[in-house]
Chain A
Amino acid sequence: MSKPYYEFFCPVKIIAGHAALEHMPLELDILGAKRPMVITDKGVRGVGLLAHIEAAFAAAGAQIATVFDDVPPDSSLQTVRAAAQAYRAAGCDALIAVGGGSVIDTSKAVNILVSEGGDDLLVYSGAHVLKRPLKPLFVVPTTSGTGSETTAVAVISDLEKGVKMPFMSYFLMPNAAVLDPRMTLTLPAHITAMTGMDALTHAVEAYTCLAHNPVSDAYAQGAITKISANLLKVLDNPTDADGRLELAQASTMAGAAFSNAMVGLVHALGHSLGAVCHLPHGLCMNLFMPYALEYNKDTNGDRIAELLLPLAGADVYATTPAAQRADRAIAEIRRLRDEIHARCKLPRTLQETGKVSRDQLEQVARLTLDDGAIIMNPKEADYGQVMAILEKAWG
């Protein structure tokens, strides 16, 4: 059945390829920006990734006005205020986020304060509160997973109240995502694997959940094809710059897909497990993907079946009877997980993580039922059914 109605929005310019960083000075100049501030974390700075950007700017006679490198893994209102203060003190006129999800979310929130003025970020919390464009924001991802460079959302912790504040506005979307393989070339194998499986889950859920649409489908299928073809290759040869670039593009494409089509039960389970057991998000996706797809299969098996083509290629798709394609697609994801495990020991079951105890599963199940992603899952899930999935994922 054709989609009766849908929306798709992704105004982010994608600047992708070898030496993509070198395009930034001109792209900022086109937007009238001369004094960008880089926002990053100490890890990114410590491994020397900023040197690539600084060299690209210096060669173009452009300057980076200041660098704020104090972003923690879970960003807070305090961090955002401190970064905004640094921006104002240095007389900046644009932002460059260099990092993963936390750095990107922080940069979006900083952009609110430096564009709208003031220090009270909470005024802008909620959906569509912002009413005008913000300062230019470029994002240079240093992992290939979150897809935050294409989303209109930022989540910032209010440490005083102990809550996470959501900000949603089209004006939060970056002006550009700069995908340069140099920025992910030194990523360790297990992080490459986790973030790759995060991107794969974004694409798989965007394709198989309730809000999928023809445009998000195209992005999702493209992303799955690239991840299937390149994730293991890159794990075998970490300095494969072409493969790294393919994964970076896949992550951004998956981001464009899921920011429009949303995600479902895998993310609901993963958010909850992450909150209870403090496991990385990408690992949680790896743990739950096959089990949640199996649970959904009797409702959307036709959609899961179509994923066999990007997951396994034309030959496997053509030689697999239509009725078996959904099962085969799930089997391909299991095979990918096994191959990853053989290379970098990324856990496939809750038991293998060594950080989850059985008595935590009930809390994970309760949180899952209240997670926002669950509404987009094609099949309703109650407490007992979520517990059954968790038992299967236990291993």
Chain B
Amino acid sequence: MINKENLGYEAQKAYVATMMQVVGRGLAATSQVDEAVRQELSAFPAGYQICMTVFPAGPSFFLRMRADGTAEKVGSAIGKPDLTIRFKHVTHAFLVFSFQEGTAQAFANDRMIADGNLSHSIRLVRCLNKMETLILPKLVAERAVKRYDALPLSEKIRKAARIYGLVAKSFVAGI
């Protein structure tokens, strides 16, 4: 188990900031690669904005929905986001992003506050779960999700490669 005491808050913050960028880009990429995630997100109207952040002032990422059901990562929201998931402390975000605590268990442990339509939060969590199932090794993903739905290895590799590719492209493009 990673010793979070030794990492210190600054290291945790740096790690969480990086992971926020990866997860935000990853979700946007997964919405282009995986039909189930695209269908989940298509319930949100075009222009719908999602923010995941850490109290009090980040790190954060923002997503904005397109009309075709895919998400794009954006630098900031226009006005108040429709759905904000706010971790109460960087240490809590670190627990989730280092896969020591699953997303549902983190909600149950009061690590974060959802501000917005609760059913939309549930959809977002399902999308996060699917993304983690696709891009993480099974041993790690099993810790992050309530139930690991095994995928055919070929599908997992093919989709993970596309998602990582799109994430890398997004980093290079500075989006």
Q: Complex: how many Å from CA A371 to CA B122?
A: 7
**CB neighbours of B139 from chain A (8 A):** none
Q: Complex: how many Å from CA A375 to CA B147?
A: 12
**CB neighbours of A376 from chain B (8 A):** 104, 107-108
Contact A372 B110 (CB under 8 A): no
Question: Which residues of chain A from 5 to 61 have any CB-CB distance to chain B below 8 Å in the complex?
Answer: 5-7
Q: Complex: how many Å from CA A40 to CA B114?
A: 31
- How many A-B contacts are there with CB distance less than 8 Å? 54
Q: Complex: how many Å from CA A209 to CA B105?
A: 10
CB distance from A105 to the nearest CB of B (A): 16
**CB neighbours of A166 from chain B (8 A):** 117-118
Let me know if B119 is at the binding interface, CB within 8 A: yes
Contact B123 A370 (CB under 8 A): yes
Q: Complex: how many Å from CA A365 to CA B115?
A: 25
Q: Complex: how many Å from CA A127 to CA B107?
A: 14
Let me know if B121 is at the binding interface, CB within 8 A: yes
**CB neighbours of A378 from chain B (8 A):** 146
Let me know if A257 is at the binding interface, CB within 8 A: no
Pick from A6, A7, A209, A374: contact of B122, CB under 8 Å: A374
CB distance from A142 to the nearest CB of B (A): 28
Q: Complex: how many Å from CA A162 to CA B35?
A: 30
Let me know if B6 is at the binding interface, CB within 8 A: no
Contact B122 A5 (CB under 8 A): no
**CB neighbours of A379 from chain B (8 A):** 146-147
For B100, the closest partner residue in chain A by CB is: A4
Let me know if B109 is at the binding interface, CB within 8 A: yes
Contact B122 A372 (CB under 8 A): yes
Known: A6-B110, A262-B108, A380-B147. A375 touches B122 (CB 8 A): yes
**CB neighbours of B119 from chain A (8 A):** 370-372
For B117, the closest partner residue in chain A by CB is: A166
**CB neighbours of A313 from chain B (8 A):** none
Secondary structure of the A side of the interface? Answer: loop
For B103, the closest partner residue in chain A by CB is: A375
For B109, the closest partner residue in chain A by CB is: A5
CB distance from B51 to the nearest CB of A (A): 13
Let me know if A128 is at the binding interface, CB within 8 A: yes
Question: Which residues of chain A from 350 to 395 have any CB-CB distance to chain B below 8 Å in the complex?
Answer: 369-372, 374-376, 378-380
**CB neighbours of B146 from chain A (8 A):** 378-380
CB distance from A267 to the nearest CB of B (A): 12
Pick from A7, A210, A262, A371: contact of B105, CB under 8 Å: A210
**CB neighbours of A209 from chain B (8 A):** 108
Bitwise, B111-139 to A at CB < 8 A (1) or not (0) is 10111111101110100000000000000
Contact A210 B113 (CB under 8 A): no
Interface residues of A, Cβ cutoff 8 Å to B: 4-7, 126-128, 166, 209-211, 262, 369-372, 374-376, 378-380
15 contacts between A and B (CB under 8 A): A127-B113, A128-B113, A210-B104, A210-B107, A211-B108, A369-B122, A370-B122, A372-B119, A372-B122, A375-B107, A375-B122, A378-B146, A380-B145, A380-B146, A380-B147
Interface residues of B, Cβ cutoff 8 Å to A: 43, 104-105, 107-111, 113-119, 121-123, 125, 145-147
